[in-house]
């Protein structure tokens, strides 16, 4: 009987140990997998196993525009997340050909000779799937920026919400870096940037002062996405 009790205690102890280990292992796996799952959700656009994702990495797009397309290395680089594929493709083509040479495009042109026409199309489609940046103020805000966006007829081409452009080869501009937006407005006004559809915007920009451009650029950056 004493031997039987000792054996039973041993069995119970081993069973308990196995149970504790299993629970501990489960908790450990949960603790490990939770941040991985959260990270996967946050970076889903660039973490999938698509050709676009691979090209975005191998062609070093993330170096300047960020892994998520909306955290550029410098504020004078654009936020490209969720941009229309038509607009993104047009800009890549124009930078490659030299039709667009303003701002920081020289840095990008040094990479674009390594990207084929087919790869540009894949990248443009891929970037268009990126979630856009969550913003701050509403279009309905009674601010000078909101008033200028209407009176300077910005909404005509870029949409009343600044993210539903009249044509797919016009850019979404809400949430854009203020520094980048300001540079583009100035360059379009002076003619330094004259590619694609900028001629239509240049006709309006002579009515916009440098101070108003700064107000518009800051307003667009803070818009709700």
Q: What is the CATH number of the domain that holds 82?
A: 1.10.760.10
The total number of structural domains that make up the chain: 1
* Residue 9, in any domain of the structure: no
Structure pTM? Answer: 0.77
Q: What range does the domain containing 179 cover?
A: 49-221
Rg, the chain, Cα only: 26
pLDDT recorded at residue 77: 96
Average pLDDT on 34-41 reads 40
Question: What span, in angstroms and rounded, lies between the C-alpha atoms of 120 and 131?
Answer: 20
Q: What percent of the chain has pLDDT above 90?
A: 70
Distances (CA, A) of 72 to 9, 37, 64, 78, 127: 63, 24, 5, 7, 14
pLDDT recorded at residue 11: 36
* Residue 106, in any domain of the structure: yes
* Residue 182, in any domain of the structure: yes
Look at 8 and 52; give whichever has higher pLDDT: 52
DSSP 8-state code for residue 225: -
* Residue 170, in any domain of the structure: yes
């Amino acid at each position: 009987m004493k031997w039987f009790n000792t054996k039973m205690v041993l069995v119970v102890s081993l069973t308990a140990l196995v149970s504790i280990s299993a629970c501990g292992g489960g908790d450990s796996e949960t603790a490990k997998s939770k941040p991985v799952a959260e990270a996967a959700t946050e970076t889903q656009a660039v973490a999938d196993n698509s050709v676009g994702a691979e090209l975005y990495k191998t062609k070093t797009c993330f170096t300047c525009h960020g892994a998520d397309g909306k955290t550029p290395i410098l504020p004078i680089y654009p936020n490209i997340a969720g941009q229309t594929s038509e607009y993104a493709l047009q800009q890549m083509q124009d930078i490659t050909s030299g039709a667009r040479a303003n701002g920081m495009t020289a840095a990008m042109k040094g990479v674009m000779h390594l990207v084929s026409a087919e790869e540009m199309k894949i990248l443009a489609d891929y970037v268009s799937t990126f979630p856009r940046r969550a913003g701050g103020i509403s279009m309905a805000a009674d601010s000078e920026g909101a008033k200028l966006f209407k009176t300077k007829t910005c909404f005509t081409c870029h949409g009343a919400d600044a993210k539903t452009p009249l044509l797919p080869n016009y850019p979404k501009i809400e949430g854009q870096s203020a520094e980048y937006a300001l540079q583009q407005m100035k360059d379009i006004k002076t003619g330094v940037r004259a590619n694609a559809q900028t001629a239509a915007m240049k006709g309006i920009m002579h009515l916009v002062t440098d101070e108003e451009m700064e107000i518009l650029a800051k307003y667009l950056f803070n818009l709700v996405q």
